[in-house]
Structure formats: C-alpha cells, structure tokens
Amino acid sequence: MTGDFTFSIIKPNAVRTGKAGPILSMINEGGFEISAMRMVRMTQQQAESFYVVHKGKPFFESLIEFMISGPVIVMLLKRENAVEEFRKLIGATDPSKAEQGTIRKTFAVSVQMNAVHGSDTVENAHREANFFFPEKDRF
Ligand code: UDP
Ligand code: MG
C-alpha cells in the first residue's frame, strides 16, 4: 500500500457492548476507507509487544489485561494525512478531555477503556500494520 494509512483497533469494551458498528460508521463518515480488517483475540505476548513503549508505566499491566479480555477489531484505514486526521477523529486519550463529536468522547467509558486505538506517527502506523496484516491482505 503506497497511500497514507493508519492502524486502528476497536478495543474490547466497545466490541463487547455492540459499538463496533457505530464506530465504523463514524470512521467512514470521517473520510476513511477500510483497507484491511479482522477480528482477533490478542494473546498476552502480542499485546505486550504491541504496547512495548508503555512497558514499566503504572498502567501497563492493567492495560494488557484489558486488551486481551475479549476480541478486538484491527484495521488499516486509508485517507490523506491518515495518522493525524484519525487522531483528530478519535480525540484525546482521556475521554473527559476529548472534544465533542470525537469517537472517544462518544464511546469511551474511562481512560483505559477509551474505545479505540490510533497510531500516533507514520512510523508507528507501519510498525503496527505489519504486526497484523501481511501485504497480501491489504486492499
Ligand atoms: N492508558 C491508561 N492509563 C493511562 C494512559 C493510557 O490506561 O494513564 C491506556 C489507554 O487505553 C491508552 C493506551 O493506554 O489508549 C495507550 O496510551 P497512550 O498514551 O499511547 O494513548 P493513545 O495513544 O492511545 O491516545
Ligand atoms: Mg499511543
């Protein structure tokens, strides 16, 4: 895939409570095209490796436990300036600080259970995409 893309996860709380559909609608309405998508239950090793930059932080272990607590939806999203635009669409990590109309403001239930993940840099989008999607599974 050559165009701008970002990597996203619909987190376990949102999948569990039936918010995947409404979240996908907001993603489409935000101008993103789905390039790859899959439902997966992450293993502890996968989750620890995915979030390795947070290893040692006070919330790390609890975050891993949460992220493996149920299935998630992983996806690649295409759009011009995808990484930055998607971070705007999801809003701040802490939903109490997220702007009205953002996905996290709408669907997060706490800082941890903030409904979605979005890559924070183009470099991380590549790293995270490679984590879940071989080139042949991208459209
Ligand atoms: N997180 C948490 N407590 C915190 C900070 C973060 O549980 O104090 C969780 C939250 O689910 C967040 C994830 O860890 O989305 C990764 O944190 P980061 O700072 O990278 O936020 P993000 O990039 O997801 O906005
Ligand atoms: Mg982050």
* DSSP-based three-state secondary structure for 66: helix
Reported as a single tens digit per residue, the pLDDT across 93-116 is: 999 999 999 999 999 999 999 999
Amino acid at 44: Q
How remote is the CA of residue 136 from the centroid of ligand 1, in Å?
30
Beta strands in 41-95 (DSSP E): 72-78
Task: In whole angstroms, give the CA distance from residue 84 to residue 79.
Answer: 10
Q: Residue ranges per domain, the chain?
A: 5-132
How remote is the CA of residue 118 from the centroid of ligand 2, in Å?
7
In the chain, which residues have pLDDT < 70? 1-3
Reported as a single tens digit per residue, the pLDDT across 2-17 is: 459 999 999 999 999 9
Instruction: Quote helix, strand, coil % in the chain, to nearest 5.
Output: 45, 15, 35
Superfamily for the 5-132 domain: Nucleoside diphosphate kinase-like domain (3.30.70.141)
Is 93's C-beta closer than 6 angstroms to any atom of ligand 1? yes
